[in-house]
Amino acid sequence: MRDFLGDYCICCHNPEGNKRRLDLEIIYEESITGHPEIWEKMVTRIESRDMPPVKARKRPLEKDYAVALETLPFHAHGL
Protein backbone atom coordinates (compact mmCIF):
# COMPACT_ATOMS: atom_id res chain seq x y z
CA MET A 1 0.00 0.00 0.00
CA ARG A 2 2.79 2.39 0.82
CA ASP A 3 4.28 1.69 -2.58
CA PHE A 4 1.02 2.65 -4.23
CA LEU A 5 0.95 5.94 -2.33
CA GLY A 6 4.64 6.58 -2.89
CA ASP A 7 4.34 5.95 -6.62
CA TYR A 8 1.12 7.79 -7.32
CA CYS A 9 0.20 10.18 -4.53
CA ILE A 10 3.11 11.60 -2.54
CA CYS A 11 4.48 13.58 -5.47
CA CYS A 12 1.52 15.97 -5.04
CA HIS A 13 0.45 15.26 -1.47
CA ASN A 14 3.43 16.28 0.60
CA PRO A 15 4.08 19.02 3.19
CA GLU A 16 5.89 21.25 0.68
CA GLY A 17 3.04 21.03 -1.78
CA ASN A 18 0.09 23.27 -2.23
CA LYS A 19 -1.60 23.88 1.14
CA ARG A 20 -4.95 22.97 -0.31
CA ARG A 21 -3.72 19.46 -0.75
CA LEU A 22 -4.00 16.82 1.85
CA ASP A 23 -0.66 15.93 3.39
CA LEU A 24 -0.38 12.19 2.83
CA GLU A 25 3.14 12.07 4.18
CA ILE A 26 1.61 12.18 7.63
CA ILE A 27 0.48 8.59 7.29
CA TYR A 28 3.96 7.59 6.27
CA GLU A 29 5.67 9.22 9.17
CA GLU A 30 3.12 8.82 11.90
CA SER A 31 1.07 5.79 12.72
CA ILE A 32 -0.62 4.43 9.68
CA THR A 33 -3.69 3.62 11.76
CA GLY A 34 -3.77 6.96 13.55
CA HIS A 35 -5.64 8.79 10.82
CA PRO A 36 -8.79 6.87 9.91
CA GLU A 37 -10.38 10.01 8.48
CA ILE A 38 -7.60 10.31 5.93
CA TRP A 39 -7.94 6.67 4.92
CA GLU A 40 -11.68 7.12 4.52
CA LYS A 41 -11.16 10.09 2.21
CA MET A 42 -8.59 8.18 0.22
CA VAL A 43 -10.90 5.21 -0.26
CA THR A 44 -13.57 7.56 -1.60
CA ARG A 45 -11.20 9.24 -4.03
CA ILE A 46 -9.64 6.01 -5.20
CA GLU A 47 -13.00 4.26 -5.60
CA SER A 48 -14.26 7.06 -7.81
CA ARG A 49 -10.91 7.00 -9.69
CA ASP A 50 -10.77 10.68 -8.87
CA MET A 51 -7.18 10.50 -7.67
CA PRO A 52 -4.61 10.79 -9.02
CA PRO A 53 -6.05 13.50 -11.26
CA VAL A 54 -6.45 12.75 -14.94
CA LYS A 55 -3.68 15.19 -15.75
CA ALA A 56 -1.19 13.41 -13.49
CA ARG A 57 1.80 12.09 -15.35
CA LYS A 58 1.59 8.67 -13.80
CA ARG A 59 -1.75 7.00 -13.20
CA PRO A 60 -2.30 3.60 -11.61
CA LEU A 61 -3.31 0.66 -13.73
CA GLU A 62 -6.75 -0.77 -13.08
CA LYS A 63 -5.18 -3.73 -11.31
CA ASP A 64 -3.25 -1.41 -8.99
CA TYR A 65 -6.51 0.31 -8.08
CA ALA A 66 -8.04 -3.06 -7.34
CA VAL A 67 -5.20 -4.07 -5.02
CA ALA A 68 -5.27 -0.69 -3.28
CA LEU A 69 -9.00 -0.92 -2.66
CA GLU A 70 -8.63 -4.40 -1.24
CA THR A 71 -6.07 -3.31 1.32
CA LEU A 72 -7.18 0.23 2.14
CA PRO A 73 -10.23 -0.57 4.27
CA PHE A 74 -8.07 -2.72 6.54
CA HIS A 75 -5.77 0.22 7.17
CA ALA A 76 -8.71 2.51 7.74
CA HIS A 77 -10.02 0.29 10.48
CA GLY A 78 -6.65 -0.28 12.04
CA LEU A 79 -6.42 -3.95 11.18
Half-sphere exposure of 49 (CA within 13 A, CB side): 10
The answer to whether residue 49 forms part of the interface with ligand HEC (CB under 6 A) is: no
Distance of CA 14 to the CA centre of its chain: 11
Residue 36 near residue 78, CB atoms below 8 Å: yes
Q: Is 56 in the site for ligand HEC (CB under 6 A)?
A: yes
Question: At closest approach, how far in Å is the CB of 18 from ligand HEC?
Answer: 6
27 in contact with ligand HEC (CB under 6 A): no
List of residues contacting ligand HEC (CB under 6 A): 8-9, 11-13, 20-22, 41-42, 45-46, 51-53, 56
